[in-house]
Amino acid sequence: MLVILVTLSVHPLMGNAASLGLAQAKMAGNFSSTLTSDQQRRLTGWRQFITRHRHSSVQKKLQLVNAYLNQFSYRQDRVVNGEEENWATPYEFILQNGGDCEDFAIAKYFMLRALGVPEQELQITYVYHHTLNQYHMVLLHIPPGQGAMLVLDNLTKTIQPIAKNADIEPVYGFNQHYVWVLNKTAQRKQVSGALHLARWQALLSRMQRQPLESQQPASG
């Protein structure tokens, strides 16, 4: 368990507390000026989406959120803000009109939370993508009971059970409270609390100071 926690804490996708201050300051500075009309339009679109679909079924919410956010642009961090790795909040994701795979997964997580999908059914998940031959981030929906885990991926419009997606091999996942390691069949074992993930904690802290009210999770 200790080895796992140490590995997670220093992994380039997770970051470490010492390296996050400059990235946070730079990101905050990027959005301190007056918003453009396109940025305002995208923020309004997010809010209207939440209001419109709050009472849809969970399956409908998954489909709608995946399709809605996959319309945003894939943009590497070094292009957006000059950082090799930076996780965007939903507010930042909307203002910069997209992000990389981590940013898509995080935006989907918080949009579904704002729509009332329970935290325990959602897991931001780090996977190895065999076709791309690189690591990748997706969102998993883990239904109550014995239902199949579903993959929400910025690379595809289709939501599939993870068991039918041979391209990806899960490594670990997290939500706002816990971290799990996963085996090849996505069975998971809790290994720590999410407080160990410095980059994730920095993002959650930054969200508290940003104005997009509907990025805050609903109860449940």
Token readout for 16 is 């470490």
**pLDDT tens track for 115-156:** 999 999 999 999 999 999 999 999 999 998 878 899 999 999
Residue 76 lies in a domain: yes
Count of domains in the chain? Answer: 1
Listed as own residue / partner, the contacts of 140-147 with beta carbons closer than 8 Å and 24 or more positions apart are: 140/170, 140/173, 140/186, 141/58, 141/62, 141/112, 141/117, 143/58
d(CA 115, CA 126): 23
Domain hosting 181: range is 58-211
Question: Is the predicted pLDDT of residue 29 greater than 70, yes or no?
Answer: no
Residue 212 scores a pLDDT above 90:
no
Could you report how far apart the first and last alpha carbons of the chain are, in Å? 29
Eight-state DSSP code of residue 42:
H
Give domain status of residue 6, yes or no: no
Residue 207: CATH number of its domain: 3.10.620.30
Q: Write down the pLDDT at residue 81.
A: 55
pLDDT tens digit sequence for 58-93:
999 999 999 999 999 998 755 455 555 689 999 999
Looking at the domain assignment, is residue 154 inside a domain? yes
The pLDDT assigned to 108 comes to 98
pTM: 0.84
C-beta of residue 134 within 8 angstroms of C-beta of residue 144: no
